[in-house]
């Protein structure tokens, strides 16, 4: 299934899964949960903060943030939020999906979030890691050995 690698931009996947989450109440009734707004706001705020800091770090390093062309990467960013996650922008998107699931308060919506992780690990992150290994060699291998993929 290599034909899926780097084809679906992660933001498009987020929107597709968010739509499916929104449609989830058609199949499973939402759970009554009074704290859903606060949890959703906290997850969304955390996700957006991580994402903005990650994008700013890439801009400062003058490297691409385009997910479909990892060979255009010009710098290996390892500081800031990249010290905790090799993929903070994808972590941002996951947290936003989890915020949406919390807001919808539907178990089926929550069950769709792991699809994002599974898809990205196989069809987005694995090809990116091959490209970064080719571009940065031992530096990337050392970084990869000390920083986890997600958290």
Q: How confident is the model over 9-65, as pLDDT tens digits? A: 999 999 999 999 999 988 888 877 778 899 999 999 999 999 999 999 999 999 999
pTM of the model: 0.92
Residue 18 maps to a domain: no
Residue 10 maps to a domain: no
Residue 17 maps to a domain: no
Residue 16 maps to a domain: no
Residue 27 maps to a domain: no
Residue 24 maps to a domain: no
Q: The tokens of 20 are what?
A: 């499916």
CA nearest 21: which of 92, 119, 99? 99
CB atoms < 10 A from the CB of 16, how many?
A: 15
Residue 92 maps to a domain: yes
- Residues of 44-60 as b/e, b for ≥16 C-beta within 10 angstroms? bebbeebbeebeebbee
Token pair 């091959």 in the structure block, residue: 130
Q: Domain limits at 52?
A: 34-146
CA nearest 99: which of 113, 89, 82, 88? 113
């Amino acid at each position: 299934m290599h034909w899926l690698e780097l084809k679906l931009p992660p933001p498009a996947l987020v929107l597709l899964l968010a739509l499916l989450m929104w449609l989830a109440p058609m199949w499973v009734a939402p759970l009554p949960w009074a704290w859903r707004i606060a949890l959703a706001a906290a997850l969304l705020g955390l996700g957006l903060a991580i994402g903005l800091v990650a994008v700013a770090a890439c801009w400062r390093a003058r490297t691409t943030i385009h997910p479909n062309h990892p060979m255009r990467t010009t710098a290996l960013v390892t500081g800031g939020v990249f010290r905790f996650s090799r993929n903070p922008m994808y972590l941002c998107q996951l947290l936003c999906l989890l915020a949406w699931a919390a807001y919808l308060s539907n178990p089926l919506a929550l069950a769709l979030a792991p699809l994002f992780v599974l898809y990205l690990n196989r069809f987005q992150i694995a090809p990116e890691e091959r490209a970064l290994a080719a571009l940065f060699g031992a530096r990337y291998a050392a970084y990869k050995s000390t920083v986890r993929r997600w958290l």
